[in-house]
Structures are given as structure tokens and as C-alpha cells.
């Protein structure tokens, strides 16, 4: 069967459901707590401080999916799996979905929809400043994720979507800055982000070098052709009297 068909028909819905699972699990936990079913697995998983647990779970899945989205192109290129590209947009939109829920949970539940408090936090607490900036950077990417926007923006689309790298780095910084003692977990995420960014920078440097080489090769070939055609003309000019003589009937020679 056609691998493109298989990826679209089966793999994409599976990835979609997998990406939804953490949110569905949180929703189950909230419903269980609301209905007083505190011993259900989903409710127990929310622990002693469900508000904080939900906030953290949404944030961590936002960051994970952001990094998975960034890993799609390297895996596609290094692993030689072109079909992976089909999942990139969906993964990116799920990353945004989790980050947006994380932000909304903070605004509505943690801060009781107090915009003034949110702004004060953005100004006063560096880790919130980093997280909020990352969130703002992701908004134009989510808005322009449609095929139509891609066509309309042309080459500018790719430039705009490079914002995903600073967003991921700020997401890691945001995570790192709020950890009090054990930095192992944020360190792992930061290392993955650094690796992905490093690969990206290396690749664009290699591409630029290849483009420069192709350009200079084309230039050399062009000059060679010019020189060659110049020599041809010169030779033709020097041959011309002889040729004219040769072309003339023997009587005139
Ligand atoms: C790209 C954007 C963001 C990412 C990737 C992100 C990611 C994370 C992560 C990974 C955590 C820690 C989870 C854990 O401890 O297991 C976290 C916690 C937190 N985030 Fe974000 N975040 C983002 C944006 C925001 C924004 C916009 C806000 C609010 C304005 C925010 C507020 C918080 C708060 C308050 C916590 C700490 C909760 C606690 O005390 O445990 N984050 N975030």
C-alpha cells in the first residue's frame, strides 16, 4: 500500500489521539474530583495540589511537544523518513494547545482572571517573563499554520516560523528558573533544545556554503564558456581570410 496513504489514513489519527491523551487524563481527573470520586486513578494522579499539578502537566507537555516538533526535520533528514514531515504541523499545533491551556489555567484558576496580577508577575518574576514571551512568540506561528497563510507569506513564512527556536529556548529557561534545587529535569530539556538548535545552525551553514560553491562553480563555467567563445571568435576571425579564400572558386585564387 502507498506509504503516504498509510501515514495519512492511520498514523495521523493515532498521533492525534496520543497527543490528546495527557489533556484527556487531566480532564478525567478534574471530573472525578468534582463528582467526589477521589479514589479514581485520574483523581489520585492529581495529588495533594491539583491546581499546581494541572498547571505543571500542561506546561511540561507544551514543552515536550515543542521539542518533538523541532525534532521532526532532523529525524526526517538523518533517518531518511520523509513521511515524518506530515506530522509536524499537527505536533506544533498540539504544543501550542498545551501552552495556551497552561497560560489560561494560570490566568483563570491560579490568578482568578486578575490581569493586573498577571502583568505584575510578568514584570516582577523573570521565569514568568520568559514563559510569557515564549507564549507570545508562538501565537503568530499558530495563526499562520494554515496552507493558505503558507502560500500567502511565501518565503517569509519560513523566516517567521524560525521563531519556534527562541520560543523553545525561552520555554526551557522558564522551566529552569522556577526549579529550586534539582535542575536535572530542566537540564535534559535544555540539552535537547541546544542539540536541535545546533543541528539547525550547522545545516543552514552547510546549505549556505553549498549555495556559494554552486554559485562560484556556475560563475567559473560561465567565464570558461565566455573565454572559450572568445577564443572561438578570435580563431574564426583569423580563419576568415583563409576560409574566404578556400570558399572562393579556384579561378579567383
Ligand atoms: C512556551 C511557553 C511555556 C512553556 C513551554 C512552559 C512550560 C512550563 C513547564 C515545563 C513548567 C514546569 C512543569 C513542572 O514543574 O513539571 C511550567 C511551570 C509554570 N509555568 Fe509555564 N510554560 C510556558 C508559558 C507560561 C506562561 C505564559 C505562564 C504564565 C503567564 C506560565 C506560568 C507557569 C507557572 C506559574 C508555572 C509553575 C507552576 C508551579 O508553581 O509549579 N508558563 N511551565
The residue range of the domain holding 44 is 3-208
| Residue 229: per-residue pLDDT | 54
Distance CA(152)–CA(164), nearest Å, equals 20
* pLDDT number for residue 247: 41
Instruction: Give the Å distance between the CA of 82 and the centre of ligand 1.
Output: 33
Which atom of ligand 1 sits closest to the CA of residue 167?
1
User: Secondary structure of the chain in the HEC alphabet?
Assistant: CCHHHHHHHHHHHHHHHHHHHHHHHHHHHHHHHHCCCCCCHHHHCCCCCHHHHHHHHHHHHHHHHHHHHHHHHHHHHHHCCHHHHHHHHHHHHHHHHHHHHHHHHHHHHHCCCCHHHHHHHHHHCHHHHHHHHHHHHHHHHHHCCCHHHHHHHCHHHHHHHCCHHHHHHHHHHHHHHHCCCCCHHHHHHHHHHHHHHHHHHHHHHHHHHHHHHHHHHHHHHHHHHHHHHHHHHHHHHHHHHHHHHHHCCHHHC
Task: Report how far ligand 1's centroid is from the alpha carbon of 176 (Å).
Answer: 10
Does some domain include residue 219?
Answer: no
Cα(217) to ligand 1 centroid in Å equals 50
Establish if 95 belongs to a structural domain.
yes
Residue by residue, pLDDT tens for the chain (253 residues) are 788 888 888 999 999 999 999 999 999 999 999 999 999 999 999 999 999 999 999 999 999 999 999 999 999 999 999 999 999 999 999 999 999 999 999 999 999 999 999 999 999 999 999 999 999 999 999 999 999 999 999 999 999 999 999 999 999 999 999 998 999 999 999 999 999 999 999 999 999 999 999 999 998 877 766 555 555 555 444 444 444 433 443 333 2
C-alpha dihedral, 84 to 86 to 92 to 95, nearest 10° = -70
User: Does residue 10 sit within a domain?
Assistant: yes
- Grid coordinates given for 194: 541546544
Residue 29 Cβ contacting ligand 1 at under 6 Å: no
Residue 78 lies in a domain: yes
d(CA 55, CA 105): 6
- CA 52 / ligand 1 centre spacing (Å): 10
Q: Is 221 domain-assigned?
A: no
Q: Is residue 132 part of a domain?
A: yes
Which residue among 52, 59, 140, 179 has the greatest number of ligand 1 atoms within 8 angstroms of its CB, and so is best to mutate? Answer: 59
- Position 223 scores a pLDDT of 72
Atom of ligand 1 nearest to the CA of 189: 10
Instruction: Report yes or no: 99 and 24 within 8 Å, Cβ to Cβ.
Output: no
Q: Which of 31, 107, 101, 41 is nearest to 65 (CA)?
A: 101
Is the CB of 102 within 6 Å of ligand 1?
yes
pTM: predicted TM-score of the whole model, two decimal places: 0.86
Residue 247 lies in a domain: no
Is residue 131 within 6 Å of ligand 1 at its C-beta? yes
Q: How many domains does the chain have?
A: 1
Name the residue with cell 540539552: 191
Report residue 67 as a C-alpha cell.
521539542
What residue owns the CA closest to ligand 1's atom 42? 131
Per the listing, cell 494560570 goes with 106
What value does the CA radius of gyration of the chain take, rounded to a whole number of Å?
Answer: 30
Among 174, 176, 177, 182, the mutation site with the greatest number of ligand 1 atoms within 8 A of its Cβ is 174
Report the atom number in ligand 1 closest to the C-alpha of 178. 37
For residue 251, tell me if it sits in a domain.
no
Handedness of CA 184, 185, 189, 195 (dihedral sign): positive
Amino acid at each position: 500500500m502507498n506509504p503516504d496513504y498509510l501515514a495519512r489514513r492511520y498514523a495521523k489519527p493515532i498521533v492525534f489521539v496520543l497527543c490528546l491523551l495527557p489533556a484527556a487524563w487531566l480532564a478525567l481527573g478534574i471530573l472525578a474530583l468534582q463528582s467526589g470520586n477521589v479514589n479514581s486513578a485520574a483523581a489520585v494522579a492529581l495529588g495533594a495540589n491539583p491546581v499546581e499539578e494541572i498547571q505543571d502537566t500542561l506546561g511540561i507537555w507544551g514543552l515536550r511537544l515543542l521539542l518533538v516538533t523541532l525534532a521532526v526535520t532532523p529525524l526526517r533528514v538523518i533517518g531518511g523518513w520523509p513521511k515524518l514531515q506530515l506530522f509536524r504541523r499537527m505536533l506544533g499545533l498540539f504544543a501550542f494547545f498545551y501552552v495556551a491551556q497552561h497560560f489560561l489555567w494560570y490566568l483563570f484558576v491560579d490568578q482568578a482572571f486578575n490581569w493586573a496580577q498577571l502583568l505584575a508577575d510578568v514584570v516582577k518574576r523573570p521565569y514568568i517573563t520568559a514563559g510569557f514571551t515564549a507564549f507570545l512568540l508562538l501565537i503568530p506561528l499558530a495563526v499562520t499554520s494554515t496552507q493558505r497563510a503558507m502560500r500567502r507569506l511565501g518565503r517569509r513564512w519560513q523566516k517567521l516560523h524560525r521563531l519556534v527556536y527562541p520560543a523553545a529556548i525561552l520555554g526551557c529557561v522558564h522551566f529552569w528558573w522556577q526549579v529550586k534545587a534539582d535542575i536535572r529535569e530542566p537540564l535534559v530539556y535544555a540539552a535537547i533544545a541546544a542539540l536541535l538548535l545546533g543541528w539547525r545552525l550547522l545545516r543552514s551553514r552547510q546549505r549556505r556554503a553549498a549555495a556559494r560553491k554552486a554559485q562560484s562553480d556556475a560563475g567559473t563555467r560561465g567565464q570558461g564558456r565566455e573565454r572559450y567563445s572568445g577564443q572561438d571568435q578570435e580563431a574564426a576571425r583569423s580563419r576568415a581570410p583563409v576560409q574566404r579564400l578556400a570558399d572562393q572558386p579556384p579561378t579567383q585564387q
